[in-house]
Amino acid sequence: MRQRSKNVTEGPERAPHRAMLRATGLRDDDLKKPLVGVASSWNEVTPCNLHLDVDAKDVKAGVRTAGGTPIQFTTIAVSDAIAMGHEGMKASLVSREVIADSVELMVIAEAFDALVAIAGCDKSLPGMMLAIARLNVPAVFLYGGTIMPGKFDGRDVTIGDVYEAVGAHAKGRMTDDDLYRLECTACPGAGSCGGLFTANTMSSCVEALGMSLPGTASIPALDPRRPVVCRQTGEAVVRLLADGIRPRDILSREAFENAIAALVAMGGSTNGVLHLLAIAREAGVPLALADFDRISRRTPHIADLRPGGRYTMADLDRVGGVPVVLRELLDGGYLHGGALTVTGKTLADNLREARRAGGQDVVRPVRDPITPTGTLAVLSGSLAPDGAVIKTAGVHRLTFRGPARVFDREEDAFDAVVHNRLSRGDVVLIRHEGPKGGPGMREMLSVTGALFGQGLGEEIALVTDGRFSGASHGLVIGHVAPEAAHGGPIAVVRDGDIIKIDVPERRLDLELSAEEIQSRLRAWRPPQPRYRT
């Protein structure tokens, strides 16, 4: 159990190392036990991570109970909601890599035998999972939990409602006082954004992967059950260490297919696509964009969750959490029940007691789904030769044809929305916002929220080589590839060009001849980089 930590705790030549560890409060008995890193993205920047120091203390108690020596450390976490709509969002996706790198470096440098990774806000979840897959030391992931919904005029609200209210306010549909009241009530305390936005999407996917304890994906941040599940997580990682079970024993091809099925059955964020692809790559598991479309076509949509549905993550927890969704999918034949999990048991074993309760419609039975197919579609065509992604949860208009309104920056598009310079039937095209062109692949929640708040969520389409927040919904298509900075066709679209969207046929086309597109691309020159140092 101490294959790694013995390199810093055993032998006379390690006296200096032990001296440093003793200075942190460790004693002889502690140094004879496996060293377990307890990593969290705690900070005071965002409510998503505000309470993770408390969770970490409870995890440490569990590690000690099980016979390990816990050592806590932290990493960064960017608040996407605060970075949204300005230059700061260019740091968001990059922060995922910094989180992964920093946790990897700490575990290697300090010779930890095992790892518990605790995360709250959007990029900290996949960042931790990238590190877990990369390191392949026994590990368990623990989600910090959802925020509770706020209350506004008698209804539940989330941060997504505030972004949409900005558009409503700009349109004159909401007063200054009402916007202020909503701002002050939407986020009542600690926890990640309350709908099935990116953090709650990824917590659900990680549970479906088998890398967190059953039921922990939906437990709210300030729920009284949290100390117990935190301690259980600490105990579980020591058991994994004793049993020799490593993350790549769990992160199989079947596990990733389970995670995708959960993603599309619940109406999860399009960010789940790029994060699961990245985690699979670190785990050495072949996974492609086409797999998401294939699994979505055969998986029913059964969880009625915001932003495309009616309920929050706290509502899902109230009816049994992610295990209820997974049990429905398992019974319907949509999951690989034999996949191993961090409990040391299979997914099917973990779900043996899970049952969908009657008298609720948060989770529908697979025999009576919201829609018979899942909520992600991968499009391709003359505008996106290498693909693009749309979330269809709650979207009723799945075909669209209209003139392009071209913007080279998100801010310019947002300005056009709030100053009412767009028309119904337009296709807003935002480019040079991809991974290279942005750089950083910004999310477009400010734009999509404002459009929806103005009542234009399906009257104006949006296409971008950037990406979307999990709180975005409507006829919005992201991840267009190749991106503009790589000379994809999106780089040469002009105002007024006709764009055709056909989700059932999985098409995204620019209605120009192939010869005209190629002529424009030959004349195209890449813009100067926005950053030089």
**pLDDT for residue 143:** 98
Task: Write out 450-488 in H/E/C secondary structure.
Answer: HHHHCCCCCCCEEEECCECCCCCCCCEEEEEECCHHHCC
Using pLDDT thresholds of 50, 70 and 90, give the confidence band for residue 229. Answer: very high
Residue 533 has pLDDT above 90, yes or no: no
95 catalytically annotated: no
Separation of alpha carbons 450 and 456, rounded Å: 9
What is the average per-residue pLDDT within 32-38?
98
- Give residue-wise pLDDT tens across range 445-457: 999 999 999 999 9
- Give residue-wise pLDDT tens across range 163-212: 999 999 999 999 999 999 999 999 999 999 999 999 999 999 999 999 99
CA 392, 393, 397, 402 torsion: positive or negative?
Answer: negative
Can you give the residue ranges of every domain in the chain?
A: 33-146+191-351, 155-190, 376-523
> Which residues, including other chains, have CB under 8 Å from residue 419's CB and lie 6 or more apart?
170
- String of DSSP letters for 145-195: -BPPPEEETTEEE-HHHHHHHHHHHHTTSS-HHHHHHHHHHS--SSSB-SS
> Which residues, including other chains, have CB under 8 Å from residue 118's CB and lie 6 or more apart?
38, 39, 40, 41, 42, 52, 55, 56, 59, 128, 141, 142, 143, 144
- Nearest alpha carbon to residue 138 among 163, 111, 154, 116: 116
Separation of alpha carbons 304 and 422, rounded Å: 31
CATH level 3 topology of 376-523: Glucose Oxidase; domain 1 (3.50.30)
- Give residue-wise pLDDT tens across range 312-364: 999 999 999 999 999 999 999 999 999 999 999 999 999 999 999 999 999 99
Active-site hit among 79, 469, 472, 513: 469
Using pLDDT thresholds of 50, 70 and 90, give the confidence band for residue 2. Answer: confident
- Nearest alpha carbon to residue 71 among 44, 102, 42, 31: 31
Q: Does domain 33-146+191-351 have CATH number 3.40.50.2300?
A: yes
Helix boundaries (H) for 190-252? 198-209, 226-243, 247-250
Which pTM does this prediction carry?
A: 0.98
Both tokens of residue 137? 């030391």
Using pLDDT thresholds of 50, 70 and 90, give the confidence band for residue 96. Answer: very high
Both tokens of residue 212? 């967190």
- Nearest alpha carbon to residue 123 among 82, 92, 86: 92
> Which residues, including other chains, have CB under 8 Å from residue 136's CB and lie 6 or more apart?
246, 247, 248
The secondary element (H helix, E strand) that includes residue 100 is helix 92-110
**Cα 219 → chain centroid:** 17
**pLDDT for residue 465:** 98
In terms of Cβ atoms closer than 10 Å to its own Cβ (0-12, 13-18, 19+), residue 14 is middle
